[in-house]
Amino acid sequence: MSDRGSAIDAFLDQTEWSDWTRTALAGDASARRYLRLSKGPNTAILMDAPPTNDEDTTPFVEIAQLLTTHGFAAPHILAHDPDKGLVMLSDLGASDYVRWLAKNPGDEAMLYKAAADVLLRLETIPPPAHLGRMTPDVGADMVAIVGTHYSKSNTTDLQQELRKAMTNFAPNASTLALRDYHAENLIWRPDKDDLDQVGLLDFQDAFTAPAGYDLASLLRDARRDISTAVANDIIDYFAARTKAEGNFRASLACLGVQRNLRILGVFARLVSVIGKPRYLQFMPRVWGHILQDLQNPALATLKQAVLDTVPAPTADHLQRLKP
């Protein structure tokens, strides 16, 4: 048995879940993994986040407790050993948005409106003071990874143009952003009501960002195409209820470009450094989102900087990213 397996056994031996059946769940881009524990009709989730891989469970636990305190459907923390990187969580369900919509495509507008309602409620929660803030300078710094791992180019000019765009259209980091707010991290719970219908996962990297950051994450999803009509309706719905000032669509587009430039770099690193080639398949969609948001006339200068610096994910370019 591996050292990690022994650590899990020792952790569970002190709990009521020691003899429950364990089933591995699909992992994500990090070094974390998840097990569903079951006994009869009862289930729970074990998060395994090895500290030796620079994982830290404390931010997840803190944000989970903040969310549940305010009535959101985040997992309840059932047990936690931060030194071992192990957390027992309540099970929010097995049907994330991707699985549900694959079987029920006609429900797309309903599910995305429910997800937008969660974000509208999140805007009423003061972000914890210790969270990082995505100011224009920080947002520009965050996309350096696209030059390091994807374009293999100097991104100084691109970052400067992004900094200017954020200063003009998304200058104020004032909203709690869960950061990876997309279909694979949202659990649809049709038997619940209001906020409880949308289960929330993978928020350990939460930070304070300009309003609309998580909406850009939701509607410019690297792993799933969303109806253009649904996306536009959700943007209008969100803007009307936040009474957004200024050019909200330009702000949202700017945040979408920032996020997806970084994602290109992150995915390229996962392919070339970590050895996860499956992330190649997502890059054309990410690039499409970048081009879509750069069609906003307010971002013309940023558009030129992106096109001058970042190549399209052609078959040849993707091949060169492989280790």
**Average pLDDT of the segment spanning 245-269:** 95
Size of the chain in residues: 323
Q: Check residue 4 and give its pLDDT.
A: 83
- Residue 235: which domain range? 97-321
For residue range 116-139, list pLDDT tens digits in order: 999 999 999 999 999 999 999 999
Q: Parallel, antiparallel, or unpaired: how do β-strands 198-200 and 77-81 relate?
A: unpaired
According to the 3-state scheme, what is the secondary structure of 37-87?
Answer: EEECCEEEEEEECCHHHCCCCHHHHHHHHHHHHCCCECCCEEEEECCCCEE
- Looking at the fold, whether 135 and 191 belong to one and the same domain comes out as yes
- Looking at the fold, whether 261 and 112 belong to one and the same domain comes out as yes
What is the CA 187 to chain-centroid distance, rounded?
13
- Tell me what percent of the residues of the chain surpass a pLDDT of 70: 98
- Looking at the fold, whether 110 and 257 belong to one and the same domain comes out as yes
For residue range 202-244, list pLDDT tens digits in order: 999 999 999 999 999 999 999 999 999 999 999 999 999 986 7
Tell me, what CATH number does 297's domain have?
Answer: 3.90.1200.10
**Average pLDDT of the segment spanning 289-318:** 97
> b/e per residue, 144-159, with b = 16+ CB within 10 A?
bbbbebbbeeebeebb
- Looking at the fold, whether 43 and 152 belong to one and the same domain comes out as no
Across 2-6, 8-12, 54-58, 250-254, the highest mean pLDDT is recorded for 250-254
Q: Check residue 245 and give its pLDDT.
A: 67
Based on the structure, what is the number of domains in the chain?
A: 2
- Looking at the fold, whether 78 and 139 belong to one and the same domain comes out as no
Q: Check residue 185 and give its pLDDT.
A: 95
- Looking at the fold, whether 293 and 181 belong to one and the same domain comes out as yes
- Looking at the fold, whether 138 and 30 belong to one and the same domain comes out as no
Q: Which of 60, 90, 120 is the last residue of a domain?
A: 90
Q: What is the pTM of this model?
A: 0.94
- Looking at the fold, whether 170 and 317 belong to one and the same domain comes out as yes
**Average pLDDT of the segment spanning 10-20:** 92
Q: Which of 90, 114, 137 is the last residue of a domain?
A: 90
Q: Which residues face 42 on adjacent strands?
A: 39
Here the tokens at position 44 are 């729970």
Tell me, what CATH number does 60's domain have?
Answer: 3.30.200.20
Q: Which of 40, 59, 90 is the last residue of a domain?
A: 90
- Looking at the fold, whether 155 and 259 belong to one and the same domain comes out as yes
- Tell me what percent of the residues of the chain surpass a pLDDT of 90: 90
Q: Tell me the one-letter amino acid at 62.
A: E
- Looking at the fold, whether 103 and 129 belong to one and the same domain comes out as yes
- Whether 183 has a pLDDT exceeding 70, the answer reads yes
- Whether 246 has a pLDDT exceeding 80, the answer reads no
